[in-house]
Structure 1
């Protein structure tokens, strides 16, 4: 974001780190990473073809990028996307995405799309939710720089599809935890436990969940998934 404020980097400029001291996740969450063990990378793009009201298309893109990178190593039946920005293996978080947009009128002028992908880390101190890594799942060590390059390559391929009018939403929905399957959650709006089925994800990013015969609409941090139910 600082680089964007001072210059106009080329599209797909990627900035990576072996270690971070203040990793962040969605809306104030933290991201823990040991030095040299994971992919930590942000990619700069200029998606002015995306309307502000459809900005969640970038989340479709980013989540599917992670899925595409992981698919050669993990059975796709074990992979899920948890709305809005987590990628899970057997209900444990293996990757997260954080997107920061700068708007110009009704379009997105620029975006910084940050990826955190757990690769060789085996312990995650201080993390409350279940977390895993490629090594924890498969028992093998992986080349972090090679995976970083794979992620950038997959991102560019999917970005080109999106720019050329290909909708990635259907693929995202197919990978979405709770889509057309009952799941349990805690409704933070009315402080109650519920069970429902995801009906849709809007371009704005809002989640539609059918509870009984009623479709309820959730914004970020208004719903907490109960992953062990």
Structure 2
């Protein structure tokens, strides 16, 4: 068994209609694979309303109006312990490619990140865009995917004073995480650039372009390509 993995996961009731499954205290690809498999298994369980996977946990929300709480938690325990660990990591992951215009014009923290990391802007762009990221969790706002792991050479802490408004499509980093802002929200991450594509499609069944377990790669594009694809330069 993988060292950081708690399996079967620890189950804690967090309310009368929800429980939290804890798989590890360490962020790890194997842990994330197990969570993905358990999430898939629990989707077959009657009475479960929602499943919210994260880096090391899985929040399970269930219907106590029509189902007995003790019976459903026992079923959750049983299903979450049914995953064959020998099959973990064998499934091919979907890759999502995000075009990004990296430039101080839309990435106001790009120069500061380069300076603090003692790199050129070109090196920051190269390191950020040459990494394949895994979507470990979705949260904060609809379609906001927490991606890891950002290369150590360009890791930066969150800003001490968050911006009140981060433009739609902003690509940003914070410590070992990378994300794309799918909507205009406050935010304290270091912004490197912007994508012209929508991360949320309100008309689709899946809603978000990036889902937990996906692999994400950023593809640098020029200013002209960004504008041709519908990108907007305003927002700050």
- Fold-level similarity (TM above 0.5): no
Report the TM-score when normalising by structure 1. Answer: 0.34
Report the TM-score when normalising by structure 2. Answer: 0.33
